[in-house]
Amino acid sequence: MRAPLPQNTRAGARAVGLLAVAGVPLPVMLALQPWGIRIPGTLYLPTHTSLEALVVAGGLATFAVQWFAAGAGAFREARARFIGPAFLAASLLALVHLLSFPGMPGFVGPASTERGIAYWFAYRGVMVGALLLAARIDRASDSPILARRRFLLTANLALVVAFVALEVSLPHRRAMFFVEGVGLTPLKVLLEVLLAAACSAGALLHGRLWLQTREPAAGKLAAALVLSMYSELCFTLYAHAYDPFNVAGHVYLVASVWFVFDALFVAALVRPYRDLDALRAHVENELVVTIRQLRDTTEQREDLLRAVSHDVRNPLQIVVLQAQRLLRGPAEERVRKPAGGILTAARRIDRMLRDLADSARSESGRLELQWAPVQLRPFVGQILETSDGVFDVARVENGVPADLGPVYADPDRLDRILANLVGNALKYSQGPVSVRAERDGEVVRISVVDRGPGIADGDLPRIFERYYRGQRHEGEGLGLGLFIVRKLVEAHGGEITAETRAGDGSTFSFTLPVAPADAELARA
pLDDT at site 363:
64
**In the chain, which segments carry CATH 1.10.287?**
288-361
- Report how many helices (DSSP H) and strands (DSSP E) the chain contains, helices first: 17, 9
Which residues is 418 bridged to in the sheet? none
pLDDT at site 4:
46
**Cα torsion for 417, 418, 419, 424, to the nearest 10°?**
90
Mean predicted lDDT score pLDDT of the chain: 80
Note the pLDDT tens digit of each residue in 278-323.
777 777 788 888 888 887 777 776 666 666 666 666 677 777 777 7
Percent of the chain with pLDDT over 90: 21
In this prediction the pTM is 0.52
Tell me if 399 sits within 8 A of 421, measured CB to CB: no
Note the pLDDT tens digit of each residue in 197-217.
999 999 999 988 888 888 888
Note the pLDDT tens digit of each residue in 67-124.
877 655 555 678 888 888 999 999 999 999 888 877 788 888 888 888 888 998 999 9
**In the chain, which segments carry CATH 1.20.1070?**
41-286
Name the class of domain 288-361: mainly alpha
Instruction: Assign 437 to helix, strand or coil.
Output: strand
CATH 1.10.150.250 fits domain 368-523: no
Whole-angstrom CA distances from 201 to 136, 141, 144, 242 are 12, 22, 27, 30
Q: Apex CA 22: angle with CA 21 and CA 24, to 5°?
A: 65
pLDDT band at residue 5 under the 50/70/90 scheme: very low
Tell me if 474 sits within 8 A of 410, measured CB to CB: no
Give CA–CA dist 378/365, Å, rounded. 31
Whole-angstrom CA distances from 235 to 52, 169, 198, 353 are 14, 26, 15, 90
φ and ψ at 87, to 5 degrees? -70, -30
Say how many C-beta atoms besides its own lie within 10 A of residue 106's C-beta.
16
Name the class of domain 41-286: mainly alpha
Helices (H), ranges, 135-243: 144-147, 149-169, 186-213, 216-237
Instruction: Assign 513 to helix, strand or coil.
Output: strand
Note the pLDDT tens digit of each residue in 350-399.
777 776 676 666 666 667 788 999 999 999 998 888 776 667 888 999 99
Radius of gyration from C-alpha coordinates of the chain? 44
**Cα torsion for 344, 350, 351, 352, to the nearest 10°?**
110
The total number of residues written for the chain in this structure = 524
